[in-house]
Structure 1
Amino acid sequence: MSAMPWHAELWERLQARRRRDAMPHALLLCGPAGLGKRDFMRRFARGLLCQQAVDGEACGRCRSCLLLDAGTHPDLVTLSFGLRKDGVQRSDIVVDQIRELSSRLAMASQFGGWQIATIDPADAMNTAAANALLKTLEEPSQNTLLLLVADAPWRMPQTIRSRCQRIEFQVPAREEALAWLQGEGVKDPVAALDAAGGNPGLARAWAEEGALARRQEVRKDLAALAAGRGETMEVVRRWLDNEPAQRLWFAAQAAADEARGRAGANNGPLASHLDAEALDDWYRAANHARDALRGPLRGDLLLLELLSRWR
């Protein structure tokens, strides 16, 4: 499994603990989406379960590795979104899933080594599920490791976070990110990295899916609305129909660029009529609207209010 270069320090830190036989019973892998946390988790779990690992890297040939490839290793439990009784996928991890996981981990490892459970996304546990996990964290079984992955760890209770060893994934230096994107064959890596706020994993994914064109479309929409052209509701409909959260990310970026342009000239690149304070408020409102899309509020009303303020 290929590793992203910014994983090296975190990987060595964990391997040093493994060599000292000082592994914690729970790890929280957290940081922005796109930095390879889940690849790192799978690589680390495979290395622990492999019967012929070298420096923590799985061999890919032993019985454990073959079972992992087939998704049938008895000592690896994966927990994510389950299904409701009507067959619809849940948007949270519920208490029954955690109770079932705890019962499974109470049993001995079938291979006599590590028993590993992954919870992804851990920040999707509801309150009852998080409370149920506390007992497992406070009374871990021997040779049991919980791997929790979260893009937004602040949504998790402090009681859970404080009982995990935190592995923080951070956006790498710009030079390292650009070099990696070039190696991945990303066209116009500078523009892609700027669009993704310096996050190389997101930059690669967005470049592949055509997000840079979407970013330009968002800026054109905002410029048109600032000039009094176009219909706000028509823009709302288009944004809602195609990656609304990503468009709000680009809209917040555009507001920040507008504020920076205003600082050095009489007008910003989008010719907004908002003053510096109002641009700052709008930037925060765009980010808040992006988070609110996950909740019960109507997306069309969120966007209508936001874009009406811009116009």
Structure 2
Amino acid sequence: MSIPSWHSEHWTRLQARRQRDALPHALLLCGPRGLGKRDFLRRFVRGLLCQRPQEGDACGTCRSCLLFDAGTHPDYVALSYGLRKDGVQRSEIVVDQIRELSARLATASQFGGWQIASIDPADAMNAAAANALLKTLEEPASQTMLILVADAPWRMPATIRSRCQRIDFQLPAQAESLAWLQDVGVREAPAALAAAGGNPGLARIWAEEGALAQRQDVRKDLAALAAGRGDAMEMGRRWLDNAPDQRLWFAAQAVADEMRARAATQTGPLASALDIEGLGAWYDAANRAREALRGPLRGDLLLLELLGRWR
């Protein structure tokens, strides 16, 4: 695995604290999706549990490493979305899961070292679960560590965030991102990075999934609607059936390009009839729709309204 260069500073600081026996009892790994927070988590936990670590990294051969790699280490628990009684996966982390986790952390370590738990995505905890977690954060047991992972930490209560040592993963410089993308073999790295808004992890994922073609499709759809062609309802259904969040990202990006072109030349590639103010309002609406897709509202109606406003 190619370790991203933007992990280095965070890794060095944590290992320095480990050397001083000053690691926190709670960490919050946060930042945009695609920057490798979960790879960082796995590397750090694996090294912390390892019986023969080398500069913080796991040896990969001791009993602890073998158990961790098999997913059966008794001193590590990973909490995520659970299943309801009917077998359907939940859309949030609930209070019973947190209570069970807290009880687990209150027991002694079987290996005589750290007991570690991760919650991912921590921003999916409902209010009752977050409240239940507070007691564990306020009264941590000795040699326990709780690691929260969140793409959208602002959805978490401030009381949770303030009790964690926060590690923010931020977008690296363009040159650094391009060097990493080329190192991991991404073709058309500049185009992929532009499509992902400067996020190298997303650029890699989208390049592997063929999302650049989808980006062009979204722009063609918007141009067709602006010209009076196409059916907004049919287009909305098609977007909803295939990565609607990603399509809305590309749509907002296309409209941002339209505004920049309009400001410079009075015309844009989408040939929208909306003025600059209208384009800005539509851009905001597209981003709100991305957020609303996470909730209970009907996605087909959200997209129909949005595309109808564009036409």
TM-score (norm 1): 0.99
Which stretch shows the higher mean deviation, 1-10 or 122-131?
Answer: 1-10
The answer as to 2:283 corresponding to 1:283 is yes
Partner deviation per Cα, 1:193-214 (whole Å, 9 max, x = no partner) = 0110000110010011110000
Alignment of 1:69-80 (within 5 A): 69-80=69-80
Partner deviation per Cα, 1:5-42 (whole Å, 9 max, x = no partner) = 11001100111111111111100000000000000001
Counterpart of 2:49?
49
One-letter identity of the residue aligned with 1:153 = P
Alignment of 1:137-148 (within 5 A): 137-148=137-148
One-letter identity of the residue aligned with 1:162 = S
Alignment of 1:79-228 (within 5 A): 79-228=79-228
Cα root mean square deviation, aligned? 0.7
Distance (Å, rounded) in 1 between the aligned partners of 2:13 and 2:275: 47
Distance (Å, rounded) in 1 between the aligned partners of 2:281 and 2:18: 47
Is the partner of 1:74 in helix, strand or coil? coil
Which stretch shows the higher mean deviation, 153-162 or 232-241?
Answer: 232-241
Counterpart of 2:309?
309
Report how many aligned residue pairs link the two structures.
Answer: 311
The answer as to 2:20 corresponding to 1:20 is yes
Instruction: State the shift of 1:238 in Å.
Output: 1.0
Q: Is the 8 A contact 2:24 2:145 kept in 1?
A: yes
Is the partner of 1:103 in helix, strand or coil? helix
Counterpart of 2:6?
6
TM-score (norm 2): 0.99
Partner deviation per Cα, 1:37-73 (whole Å, 9 max, x = no partner) = 0000010001110000011000001110011011111
Distance (Å, rounded) in 2 between the aligned partners of 1:49 and 1:185: 32
Distance (Å, rounded) in 1 between the aligned partners of 2:201 and 2:71: 26
Q: Is the 8 A contact 2:2 2:184 kept in 1?
A: no
Instruction: State the shift of 1:243 in Å.
Output: 0.7
Distance (Å, rounded) in 2 between the aligned partners of 1:162 and 1:85: 34
One-letter identity of the residue aligned with 1:85 = K
Distance (Å, rounded) in 2 between the aligned partners of 1:240 and 1:110: 48
Distance (Å, rounded) in 1 between the aligned partners of 2:126 and 2:9: 32
Partner deviation per Cα, 1:158-202 (whole Å, 9 max, x = no partner) = 000000000000011000101111111111111100110000110
Gaps of 5+ in 2: none
Is the partner of 2:82 in helix, strand or coil? coil
One-letter identity of the residue aligned with 2:33 = A
Displaced runs of 4+ in structure 1, greater than 3 A?
none
One-letter identity of the residue aligned with 1:305 = E
One-letter identity of the residue aligned with 1:182 = Q
Instruction: State the shift of 1:246 in Å.
Output: 0.3
Instruction: State the shift of 1:2 in Å.
Output: 4.0
Distance (Å, rounded) in 1 between the aligned partners of 2:230 and 2:24: 57
Distance (Å, rounded) in 1 between the aligned partners of 2:13 and 2:280: 39
One-letter identity of the residue aligned with 1:235 = M
One-letter identity of the residue aligned with 1:280 = G
Q: Is the 8 A contact 2:195 2:203 kept in 1?
A: yes
Instruction: State the shift of 1:117 in Å.
Output: 0.3
Is the partner of 2:74 in helix, strand or coil? coil
One-letter identity of the residue aligned with 2:195 = A
Instruction: State the shift of 1:80 in Å.
Output: 0.5
Counterpart of 2:267?
267
Distance (Å, rounded) in 1 between the aligned partners of 2:272 and 2:7: 41
One-letter identity of the residue aligned with 1:59 = C
Counterpart of 2:230?
230
Distance (Å, rounded) in 2 between the aligned partners of 1:218 and 1:58: 44
Distance (Å, rounded) in 2 between the aligned partners of 1:241 and 1:97: 32
Partner deviation per Cα, 1:253-297 (whole Å, 9 max, x = no partner) = 011000000110121111111111111111110010011011110
Gaps of 5+ in 1: none
One-letter identity of the residue aligned with 1:255 = V
Identity over the aligned pairs, expressed in percent? 78
